[in-house]
Amino acid sequence: MTAGTAPSTRWPAIPKDLRGLAVRPNMVDYDASRAAFSWDEARHALAGLPDGGVNIAYEAVDRHAAGERAGHEALRFIRADGTARSLSYAELAEQTGRFAGVLHGLGIGRGERVFSLMGRSPELYVAVLGTLKNASVFCPLFSAFGPEPVRQRLHLGSGRALITTRALYRRKVAQIRDELPELEHVLLIDAEGLPDPGTLDLAELMRDAQPLETVSTRAEEMALLHFTSGTTGTPKGAIHVHDAVTAHHATGFFALDLHPDDVYWCTADPGWVTGTSYGVIAPLTHGVTTIVDEEEMDADRWYRILAEQHVTVWYTAPTALRMLMKAGADHAAGHDLSALRFVASVGEPLNPEVVVWGQEAFGQPVHDNWWQTETGGIMISNYPAMEIRPGSMGRPLPGVEAAIVARDPDGKAVLRNGEAVLVTEPEGVGELALRPGWPSMFRGYLHEDERYRRCFAGGWYLTGDLAKMDADGYFWFVGRGDDVIKSSGHLIGPFEVESSLMEHEAVAEAGVIGVPDPVAGEVVKAFVELRTGWQPSEALKLDIIGFARKRLGPAVAPRLLDFTDALPKTRSGKILRRLLKARELGLPEGDTSTIESPPGRYPGAPA
């Protein structure tokens, strides 16, 4: 495989000094923590059920409710008007026990699937954990999905129960109900004593239910079903088990640096794996207070929440950060963000420009980390006490072995004697791979065994992303396997081009694709969204292209450039390059169930 272009060297490394940190990080020495770590040890950090079983909800809720953190605020929901309502660990234990009792009373049992379709309200969080307490499997959906994506997922996942609102039921579910014979129960959170025909009043059932003790589950028992974001095609249903909680807890400790007194805010919606792994499970296992914003993203609102709620640890997404950057620094001014001690991001490549901008906006760089629905938890990360190299995803978590696997021209892993061949020279591009065995690894794609098997080769799980590793073991994202552009013998990752474009003062965000070219094979085309106050013009187009050529050289810089008001994105805010390409080439758009609509409105929901 041709070598990719070198990692961004324009951005100097950002050193870390322990003395400058207000709170001593959980990990002060990366190599020492890696050497000392084992997953078995990590399991001991959790309680486990008395009979040796493992249940996510027990670790997240029950064990705190039974101890001195019972009265500690577990979840704090911020309503549209900025007022808050809270649930303590004890209250959460009581309500989730009731919810489990409701399911039990309806005859929904072990391994059966419970879906949600609703905004980020307390009922959603109670439903996630209550379902797990009942040994049933939870599958959260984005409330913004249309009827067809809802039907598809409920059908694939054999949903037996759905928790939703009256309005969403009427708009999205009532008309598809006949096509879902397995969907026995629909529970409305806002029925107010008058459920629609064919639905049940959840509040009433909760009042009457007997709280259920957490049912014992085995570590390898299925707990969660998460559909991927659909960035590259039809979403896949990834199966996760209760033992995943070991990874959620350990990664919350190392990568998010959670401490018991933290006020933590994950902006992701549980409809995306981030919003469940790190919006519900990881923080609760650490006994911290988690903020949930019930509204959609808005720059002023977000700064207000960070300041007024005294958020200490913030986990968000590149698209949100780019939107804050686009809105301008004035929005940050006047907000006291002094409580904020750690900012992390996931979901898409994080442009170096944004990492560095964090220092101006939040008084610290943004810490990128990498993972997928399939990995269930953070795999590669930047840490509070480790130097940041802007544009790099960081280094593998303790307990995680990552490598770059060589690919043949067809994109298949190169094997020798049954073992995958690794790219060992620094900066060599290949497929990012992980050694199987971490607890939150997916255990299958629902109904797609063959596809699951194809993800593994030569002793590795192949992620489908291309990356490179530098001489010091930092990983650099190059692009999704499907997005990489081959132009005149060069292998070009869209991320590098997009990041360079973003350094132009007029550019807020960019999506880059390859379009066929008779001479070069493919040439680079960029779609550019301008910052507030800039107008598209031919002169500006040439200026941006010229700017990119200076930075990247003519072989890599975009040859073509279009302005756009809003790049197509998934609901998690990921740029849908495959859609840009399909539209450019007049090809079918493929699966668009996860597309953000209307475009340009980030739904507060990374992925």
Tell which one of 393, 502, 576, 605 touches ligand ATP (CB under 6 A).
Answer: 393
Tell which one of 185, 341, 480, 490 touches ligand ATP (CB under 6 A).
Answer: 480
For tokens 């298949």, what's the residue? Answer: 412
To ligand ATP, the closest distance from the beta carbon of 408 in angstroms equals: 21
Q: Are 37 and 26 in contact (CB under 8 A)?
A: no
List the single partner that 362 binds among Mg ion, ligand ATP, none, CB under 5 to 8 Å by kind.
Answer: none
Select from 189-197, 223-231, 269-277, 515-523 the region that touches Mg ion (CB under 5 A). 223-231
Taking CA atoms, 430 is separated from 424, 481, 545, in Å, by: 10, 9, 28
Which of 27/317 has CB closer to ligand ATP?
317
Taking CA atoms, 501 is separated from 363, 437, 557, in Å, by: 24, 39, 9
Burial of 408 (0-12, 13-18, 19+ CB in 10 A): exposed
**Alpha-carbon gap, residue 519 to 252, rounded angstroms:** 49
Binding of ligand ATP by 231 (CB under 6 A) = yes
List the single partner that 349 binds among ligand ATP, Mg ion, none, CB under 5 to 8 Å by kind.
Answer: ligand ATP
Which of 103/244 has CB closer to ligand ATP?
244
Select from 130-138, 209-217, 221-229, 330-338 the region that touches Mg ion (CB under 5 A). 221-229
Which residue, judged by CB position, is nearest to Mg ion in the bound state? Answer: 228
Instruction: Count the helix, strand and coil residues of the chain and give each as a percent rounded to the nearest 5.
Output: 30, 25, 45
Dihedral angle of Cα 40, 100, 126, 62, to the nearest 10 degrees: -40
Select from 130-138, 184-192, 347-355, 412-420 the region that touches ligand ATP (CB under 6 A). 347-355
Tell which one of 8, 116, 143, 232 touches ligand ATP (CB under 6 A).
Answer: 232
To ligand ATP, the closest distance from the beta carbon of 280 in angstroms equals: 16
Which of 126/393 has CB closer to ligand ATP?
393
To ligand ATP, the closest distance from the beta carbon of 255 in angstroms equals: 11
- Which residues are CB-neighbours of 54 under 8 A, at least 6 positions away? 46, 48, 217, 218, 219, 242, 243, 245, 246
Q: Are 123 and 131 in contact (CB under 8 A)?
A: no
Select from 216-224, 232-240, 278-286, 529-537 the region that touches ligand ATP (CB under 6 A). 232-240
Tell which one of 347, 390, 396, 573 touches ligand ATP (CB under 6 A).
Answer: 347
List the single partner that 477 binds among Mg ion, ligand ATP, none, CB under 5 to 8 Å by kind.
Answer: ligand ATP
Which of 228/312 has CB closer to Mg ion?
228
2 CB-side CA count, 13 A = 12
**Alpha-carbon gap, residue 189 to 52, rounded angstroms:** 34
Residue 335, amino acid: H
**Alpha-carbon gap, residue 97 to 62, rounded angstroms:** 9
Binding of ligand ATP by 286 (CB under 6 A) = no
Which of 122/494 has CB closer to ligand ATP?
494
**Alpha-carbon gap, residue 525 to 514, rounded angstroms:** 6
Which of 235/358 has CB closer to ligand ATP?
235
Tell which one of 346, 469, 576, 580 touches ligand ATP (CB under 6 A).
Answer: 346
Binding of ligand ATP by 496 (CB under 6 A) = no
Tell which one of 349, 377, 398, 493 touches ligand ATP (CB under 6 A).
Answer: 349
- Which residues are CB-neighbours of 35 under 8 A, at least 6 positions away? none
Select from 53-61, 346-354, 384-392, 403-411 the region that touches ligand ATP (CB under 6 A). 346-354
Which of 364/572 has CB closer to Mg ion?
572
Dihedral angle of Cα 498, 590, 523, 596, to the nearest 10 degrees: -20
Select from 85-93, 277-285, 362-370, 446-454 the region that touches ligand ATP (CB under 6 A). 362-370
DSSP 403-449: EEE-B-TTSPBPEETTEEPB--STT--EEEEE-S--TTS---BTT-H
Edge-to-edge strands, sheet with 222-227: 200-201, 185-188, 159-164, 113-117, 137-141, 222-227, 237-241
Binding of ligand ATP by 373 (CB under 6 A) = yes
**Alpha-carbon gap, residue 365 to 246, rounded angstroms:** 28
> How many chain residues touch ligand ATP (CB under 6 A)?
25
Burial of 212 (0-12, 13-18, 19+ CB in 10 A): buried
Tell which one of 235, 252, 352, 430 touches ligand ATP (CB under 6 A).
Answer: 235
List the single partner that 305 binds among Mg ion, ligand ATP, none, CB under 5 to 8 Å by kind.
Answer: none
Which residues would be at the binding site for ligand ATP (CB under 6 A)? 228-233, 235, 346-350, 368-370, 372-373, 393, 463, 465, 477, 480, 572, 574, 607
Name the site residues for Mg ion (rule: CB under 5 A): 228
